[in-house]
Amino acid sequence: MAGGSSSISPTYYFLCSPSSDRIHSKQQQPAAGSPRLRLLHPDRQQRKTRMSGSKVYTLEEVAKHNTKDDCWLVIGGKVYNVTKFLEDHPGGDDVLLSSTAKDATDDFEDVGHSSTARAMMDEYLVGEIDAATIPTKVKYTPPKQPHYNQDKTQEFVIKILQFLVPLAILGLAVAVRMYTKSESA
């Protein structure tokens, strides 16, 4: 490096908050002679290490854990063993048990859990779910309402005639009876 210009490579700092799963990078030029640094929030580093060696479960495997003595949930692509939390859950154990054997992410998000509740989840984490084993969500599409069908006019006419013909016969019978009574008197 004597006599020539040296190229200093940039240092990347990886910044993330404990509640974020996103890594934001920021590029800065290091001071001369400073080593490259890679910084991660301690919680993020621990989570990455734990998840990289975590077990991947199929939905079928997770579905077997659906009792008060053994309850697992799938939330956000991760598998949680919430058996120890069943009694402490504010909504009761039935709420958690009803969310077993499926992807409970929507159920979890619909309630609007606090950041404290989300932080508690880490202690119940047992692995990840194999996304290929989760059935795709089928969006409900209501049946289309039938448009006025002109072919049904024949059916309508037949029903009207079935009502009016007997009524006309009855009216005719009453008229004949009245006419014959008035002539005989």
Q: Are residues 75 and 117 in the same domain?
A: yes
- The per-residue pLDDT for 24 is 42
Question: Residue 32: is its pLDDT beyond 60?
Answer: no
Comparing CA positions, the residue from 91, 89, 90, 100 lying closest to residue 67 is 100
- The per-residue pLDDT for 165 is 95
- The per-residue pLDDT for 147 is 66
Burial zone of 137 (CB within 10 Å; 0-12 exposed, 13-18 middle, 19+ buried): exposed
The predicted-structure confidence for 122-150, as pLDDT tens digits, reads as follows 999 999 999 999 988 777 888 777 666 65
Please state the φ and ψ torsions of residue 24, each to the nearest 5 degrees.
-110, 130
Residue 46 lies in a domain: yes
Range of the domain at 74: 55-133
3-state SS class at 148: coil
Q: Are residues 59 and 129 in the same domain?
A: yes
Q: Are residues 69 and 47 in the same domain?
A: no
Query: Comparing 149 with 31, which gets the higher pLDDT?
Result: 149
Q: Are the C-beta atoms of 27 and 12 separated by less than 8 Å? A: yes
Q: Are the C-beta atoms of 129 and 80 separated by less than 8 Å? A: no
Banded pLDDT at 21 (limits 50, 70, 90):
very low
- The per-residue pLDDT for 10 is 43
Residue 87 lies in a domain: yes
Q: Which two tokens stand for residue 185?
A: 């008197």
- Report which residue type is found at 101: A
Q: Are residues 67 and 38 in the same domain?
A: no
Q: Are residues 72 and 16 in the same domain?
A: no
Q: Which two tokens stand for residue 85?
A: 């939390």
Cβ neighbors of 26 (< 8 A, separation 6 or more) are: 12, 13, 15
Banded pLDDT at 42 (limits 50, 70, 90):
very low
* CA 78/CA 116 separation, integer angstroms: 18
Comparing CA positions, the residue from 129, 66, 147, 140 lying closest to residue 101 is 66
Average pLDDT over every residue of 163-171: 95
Banded pLDDT at 2 (limits 50, 70, 90):
very low
Average pLDDT over every residue of 87-97: 93
Q: Are residues 82 and 67 in the same domain?
A: yes
Q: Are the C-beta atoms of 72 and 79 separated by less than 8 Å? A: yes
Output the pTM of the full model: 0.49
- The per-residue pLDDT for 182 is 84
Longest dimension (CA), the chain: 144
- Report which residue type is found at 10: P
3-state SS class at 62: helix
Q: How many domains does the chain have?
A: 2
Query: Comparing 30 with 137, which gets the higher pLDDT?
Result: 137
Examine the fold and report which residue of 133, 157, 175 is the final residue of a domain before the chain moves on: 133
- The per-residue pLDDT for 103 is 94
Query: Comparing 137 with 84, which gets the higher pLDDT?
Result: 84
The predicted-structure confidence for 45-72, as pLDDT tens digits, reads as follows 333 334 457 899 999 999 999 999 999 9
CATH number at residue 69: 3.10.120.10
Q: Are residues 47 and 59 in the same domain?
A: no
Q: Are residues 88 and 118 in the same domain?
A: yes
Q: Are residues 89 and 37 in the same domain?
A: no
Phi-psi region of 94 (alpha: psi -120 to 50; beta: other; left: phi over 0): alpha
Residue 3 lies in a domain: no
* CA 132/CA 134 separation, integer angstroms: 6
